[in-house]
Amino acid sequence: MTTVDWLWVLHPALAVVLVYPLIGMTIRLGVQTRSRRVDKAKLPASTGRDHADLGSWLAAAVVGIVLVALTVVIATKAAPGSFEGGPTRALTLLLVVMGTVVSLVALWRVRARAYRLCFALLTWIGVLGLGAQPEVYRVSDNPLSTEFWTSHYWAGVAVVGLMLFSLGARPEILREPRLRRLHVSASVLAAVLFTLQGITGSRDLLTIPLSWQKTFLGACNWSEMRCPPPPRAPALPGSP
């Protein structure tokens, strides 16, 4: 594997090592928090706070690995010398990445509702803007097609939006029952999307060739599932 191949593995590795364990712990604490509030279960008073804190870390981790994935895809699609748009576009995209990270950090720190809404939207817009680049493979952009609903990219940005909602509305979720119910519904949807991400991510890993395989596989007929025979090695001198 080359350096580029290892960079492509970084996103799924971070998801397996960091994000999915956080998902399990957050769901478990969320169920306990609801049991303590609704069923009056005898659980520690810190359960709700721990759930909220882990949920915030989960949201930040999800945004972070999505930014890693998009940055790697855009940066490694072509050689630096043939990057579409040249240094000007590369600098613009770098500023978008940095601005998205700054917005996420600001979302963690601000307290006013308007600021939280503003920075949550800015973070999501930054992710969507990077995902709209031609280097990013989205399977389909047509919501009426089956491929759209099985797209790893679109499920990913939907999860990012749900995570940013939970992070940005955290104080209101703690205080208002209506938003708490909405948070539960969003969390169930996020769990479904995370499951879909695990399936489609594994599928996509099977379809992404190693860097040195791309030239040969580019000549394959994918509709007929056939590839040209490999070139024969030159015969050695004196061989029959």
Distance CA 240, CA 204 (A): 44
Q: pLDDT tens digits, residue range 137-167? A: 888 899 989 989 999 999 999 999 999 999 9
How many domains does the structure of the chain reveal? 1
How sure is the predictor about 205, in pLDDT bands with cuts at 50, 70 and 90? confident
Backbone angles phi, psi at 221, to 5 degrees: -100, 100
Query: Is residue 215 in a domain?
Result: no
Query: Is residue 143 in a domain?
Result: yes
Q: pTM of the predicted model, to two decimals?
A: 0.87
> Which stretch of 32-41, 62-71, 117-126, 141-150 has the lowest confidence by average pLDDT?
32-41
Domain containing residue 135:
3-209
Partnered with residue 221 across adjacent β-strands are 226
Query: Is residue 238 in a domain?
Result: no
Query: Is residue 117 in a domain?
Result: yes
Query: Is residue 219 in a domain?
Result: no
Is the pLDDT score of 237 beyond 70? no
